[in-house]
């Protein structure tokens, strides 16, 4: 028995929602194939473009997630896992989350849907913990559930899937430098003062209300972050200028995607997204930084 699945890349945090907001990018992501073997070995095939990714099932994200699922069921089952990465690890687009989500979903199908969707998110979170040291759910939930997700609670895990304006477009610029989530998590402050907490809560409330009622002014006013962006932006060359370019073009908001270095902008429609994308392409070219631009729906 075998299955091939696609898991979307994701934008985590989405401005003010550190570790609690995530959205899935339509059409950008990775393919993963799992086949049940007659042996009990888990074989992870090398990915030619990424020779540094570990292939041992105890270290590889797909291996870690698959083993946890099999262990839970008390099964010794051999697997062959082939991963086709479209998004580079360390991009801030949930590359490791894609692998974890794809593995959890695909293996569950081969196991006759032994687990619920929420359980699959929890298994996929083990992959995130192995990569970044923290079992954050924002990338894997968005990749598994799709659309726009809120992690309402971690203990117990509770995920809400909210509506958003269908014409909304996302532009992503991925400057080809690597930022490790583990590193960019460590630099964040561990505490926040009450006035900042109040501002941040107001921003999240405005963003979510704006998304669910298609109120673009509220989205724009909510897309401000006091937790991650002010600190992480130092790791991302040209962030402030790239953000200004997007906002001057009329974007509804712009922030860091996950832990960076990718950045994203919310746009009202396809044309605005193209315009921001073109400006960013030129901007990074002027900085002599290679970049990839993605235009996507949620």
Q: Which one, 178 or 248, has the nearer CB to ligand HSE?
A: 178
Confirm or reject binding of residue 19 to ligand HSE (CB under 6 A). Answer: yes
Least distance CB 96 / ligand HSE (angstroms): 8
| 88 counts as binding ligand HSE under rule CB under 6 A | no
Q: At what angle do helices 138-145 and 95-110 cross, to 10 degrees?
A: 50
Catalytic residue among 128, 131, 229, 249: 128
Q: Using an 8 Å Cβ cutoff, are 75 and 30 in contact? A: no
Smallest distance, ligand HSE to C-beta of residue 168, A: 21
Please give the angle made by the CA atoms of 142, 78 and 111, to the nearest 5 degrees.
Answer: 50
Q: Which of residues 122-141 bind ligand HSE (CB under 6 A)?
A: 136, 138-139
Cβ 15 to ligand HSE shortest distance, Å: 11
DSSP letters, 129-193, are HHHHSS---HHHHHHHH-SEEEEEEETTEEEEEE---TT-EEEEEEES----HHHHHHTS-S---
Stretch that binds ligand HSE, among 12-20, 47-55, 216-224, 243-251 (CB under 6 A): 12-20
CB of 236 to ligand HSE, least distance (A): 13
Q: Does 255 bind ligand HSE (CB under 6 A)?
A: no
Interacting positions 169-228 with ligand HSE (CB under 6 A): 181, 185, 228
Catalytic residues: 128, 181
Contact positions toward ligand HSE, by CB under 6 A?
12-13, 18-19, 92, 94, 136, 138-139, 181, 185, 228, 258-259
């Amino acid at each position: 028995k075998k299955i091939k699945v696609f898991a979307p890349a994701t934008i985590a945090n989405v401005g003010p929602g550190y570790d609690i907001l995530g959205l899935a990018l339509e059409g950008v992501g990775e393919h993963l194939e799992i086949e049940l073997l007659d042996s009990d070995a888990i074989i992870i095939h090398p990915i030619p473009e990424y020779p540094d990714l570990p292939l041992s099932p105890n270290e590889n994200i797909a291996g870690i997630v698959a083993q946890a699922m099999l262990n839970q069921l008390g099964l010794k089952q051999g697997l062959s896992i082939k991963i086709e990465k479209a998004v580079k690890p360390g991009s801030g687009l949930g590359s490791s989350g894609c692998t974890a989500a794809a593995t959890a979903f695909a293996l569950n199908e081969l196991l006759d849907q032994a687990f619920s969707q929420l359980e699959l998110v929890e298994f996929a979170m083990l992959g995130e913990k192995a990569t970044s040291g923290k079992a954050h759910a924002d990338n894997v939930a968005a990749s598994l559930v799709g659309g726009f997700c809120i992690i309402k609670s971690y203990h117990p895990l509770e995920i809400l899937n909210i509506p958003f304006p269908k014409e909304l477009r996302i532009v992503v610029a991925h400057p080809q430098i690597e930022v490790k989530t583990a590193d960019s998590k460590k630099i964040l402050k561990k505490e926040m003062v009450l006035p900042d907490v109040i501002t941040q809560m107001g921003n999240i409330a405005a963003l979510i209300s704006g998304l669910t009622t298609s109120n673009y002014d509220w989205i724009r006013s909510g897309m401000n972050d006091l937790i991650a962006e002010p600190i992480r932006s130092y790791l991302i060359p040209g962030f402030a200028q790239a953000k200004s370019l997007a906002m001057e073009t009329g974007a509804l908001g712009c922030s860091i995607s996950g832990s960076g270095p990718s950045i994203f902008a919310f746009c009202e429609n396809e044309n605005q997204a193209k315009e921001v994308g073109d400006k960013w392409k030129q901007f990074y070219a002027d900085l002599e930084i290679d970049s990839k631009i993605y235009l996507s729906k949620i």
